[in-house]
Chains A and B, each alone.
Chain A
Amino acid sequence: MSLQVENLRVYYQTLRGDVKALDGATFSIADREIMGLAGESGCGKSTLGNGLILLTPPMRFVEGRVTIDDEELPIWDMERMDGFRFRKISIIPQYAMNAMNPTRKIGKMTSELLESRNVDSRATLPELERRLDLVELTRDVLNMYPIELSGGMKQRMVMVISTLLNPSLLIADEITSALDVSTQKAVADMLVEFRDREFVKSMMVITHDISILYQIADSILIMYAGQLAEKASTEVIIHSPRHPYTKLLISALPKVGVKYAERRLAGIPGNPPLLLDPPVGCRFRERCPVAFDRCLQEPQFIEVEKDHFVACWKEFERDA
Chain B
Amino acid sequence: MLRLDRVSKVYKVGTFGGKELRAVSDVSFNVEDGEVVSLIGESGSGKSTIGKMILRLISISSGAIFFDGMDISTLSGGALKEYYRKVQGVFQDPFSTYNPIFKADRVFRTIHEEFYPGVKGREWNEKLESSLEAVGLNPEEVLNKFPHQLSGGQLQRFLIARALLLDIQFLVADEIISMLDASTRIDVLNLVADLKSRGLSILFITHDLSLGYYISERAVILHRGCVVEMGSTEEVYYNPLHPYTRMLMACVPRLDEKWQDVEVELKAQQSGITSGCVYYERCQVAGKDECCATERPALRKVESDHYVACGQC
- Determine whether A248 belongs to the interface, using a CB cutoff of 8 Å to chain B: yes
A17 within 8 A of B: no
Residue contact B42 to A185, C-beta cutoff 8 Å: no
Q: How far is the CB of B249 from chain A (nearest CB, A)?
A: 8
Give bound CA distance, A249 to B211, whole Å. Answer: 16
Contact B259 A265 (CB under 8 A): no
Q: Do residues A186 and B43 form an inter-chain contact, with CB atoms below 8 A?
A: no
Knowing A249-B182, A266-B186, A267-B185, say if A181 contacts B255 (CB, 8 Å): no
Pick from B249, B255, B268: contact of A211, CB under 8 Å: B255
- Pick from A136, A211, A248, A259: contact of B253, CB below 8 A: A211
Within 8 Å of chain A (Cβ to Cβ): is B146?
no
> B207 in the interface, Cβ–Cβ < 8 Å?
yes
> Known contacts being A181-B42, A181-B248, is A268 close to B183, with CB within 8 Å?
yes
Alpha-carbon distance A189/B264, docked complex (angstroms):
10
A-B contact count (CB 8 A): 119
A6, B189: Cα distance in complex, Å: 39
23 A-B contact pairs sorted by A residue (CB < 8 Å):
A40-B182, A40-B183, A182-B248, A188-B253, A210-B255, A211-B254, A238-B255, A252-B185, A253-B182, A253-B255, A254-B210, A255-B256, A256-B210, A257-B213, A257-B256, A258-B210, A258-B214, A260-B190, A260-B193, A260-B215, A266-B186, A267-B187, A268-B184
Query: Which partner residue on chain B sits nearest A211 by CB separation?
Result: B253
Compute how far the CA of A208 lies from the CA of B213 in the bound complex, rounded to whole angstroms: 20
By a CB distance below 8 angstroms, the chain B residues around A41 are 181
Contacts of B258-275 to chain A: CB distance below 8 A: 258-259, 262, 264-268
Per-position 1/0 for A228-263, Cβ under 8 A of B? 000000000010000000001110111111111000
Q: State the interface size on chain A (CB cutoff 8 A).
A: 41
Distance between Cα atoms of A184 and B259 in the complex (Å): 12
B21 to chain A, nearest CB (A): 16
B251 at the interface (CB under 8 A from A): yes
CB-based contact A181/B251 at 8 Å? yes
Find the A residue at minimum CB distance from B181.
A40
Within 8 A of A (CB), among B157-190: 181-187, 189-190
Task: Note all chain B residues with C-beta closer than 8 A to A259.
Answer: 213-214, 233
Contacts of B249 in A (CB 8 A): 256
Q: Which residues from A are CB-within-8-Å of B27?
A: none
CA distance A320 to B44 in the complex (A): 55
With A182-B264, A210-B255, A264-B190 as contacts: A256 and B182 at CB distance below 8 Å: no
Residue in chain B with minimal CB distance to A42: B181
Give the residues in chain A near B259, CB-CB below 8 Å.
Answer: 185, 189, 215
Please measure, in the bound complex, the distance between the C-alpha atom of A136 and the C-alpha atom of B210, giving whole angstroms.
29
Does chain B have a CB within 8 A of A145?
A: no
A268, B213: Cα distance in complex, Å: 21
Q: Chain A interface (Cβ within 8 Å of chain B)?
A: 40-41, 136, 150, 152-153, 180-186, 188-189, 208-212, 214-215, 238, 248-250, 252-260, 264-268, 271
Asked if B43 and A255 sit within 8 Å, CB to CB, the answer is no
A264-B194 Cα distance, complex, nearest whole Å: 11
9 more A-B residue pairs beyond the given contacts A181-B248, A211-B254, A259-B213, with a C-beta to C-beta distance below 8 A: A180-B43, A182-B251, A184-B253, A185-B251, A211-B252, A215-B258, A253-B210, A254-B186, A267-B184
Assess whether B183 is in contact with A182, with CB atoms less than 8 Å apart: no
Chain B residues lying within 8 Å of A264, measured Cβ to Cβ, are: 190
* Min CB gap B159→A, angstroms: 18
Assess whether A184 is in contact with B251, with CB atoms less than 8 Å apart.
yes
Rounded to whole Å, the gap between the CB of A285 and the closest CB of chain B is 15
- Inside 8 A of B233's CB, which chain A residues have their CB? 259
Q: Which residues of B contact A258 (CB under 8 A)?
A: 210, 213-214
- Which of B43, B184, B209, B265 touches A256 (beta carbons < 8 Å)? B209
Contact assessment for A254 and B213 in the assembled complex, using a CB-CB cutoff below 8 Å: yes
Q: A214-B255, A267-B186 are in contact. Are A254 and B264 (CB under 8 A)?
A: no
B10 interfacial contact with A, CB 8 Å: no
Query: Whole-angstrom distance between the alpha carbons of A249 and B181 in the complex?
Result: 10
Among residues of B, the one whose C-beta sits closest to the C-beta of A270 is B183
Query: Closest residue of chain B to A181, judged by CB?
Result: B251
Given A248-B183, A264-B190, are A214 and B253 also a contact pair (CB < 8 Å)?
A: yes
Contact between B182 and A260 (Cβ–Cβ < 8 Å)? no
Across the interface, name the chain B residue whose C-beta is closest to A234.
B258
B247 at the interface (CB under 8 A from A): yes
B237 at the interface (CB under 8 A from A): yes
Q: Which residues of the other chain, A, contact B187 by a CB distance below 8 angstroms?
A: 266-267
**Cross-chain contact of A152 among B183, B215, B237, B266 (Cβ < 8 A):** B266
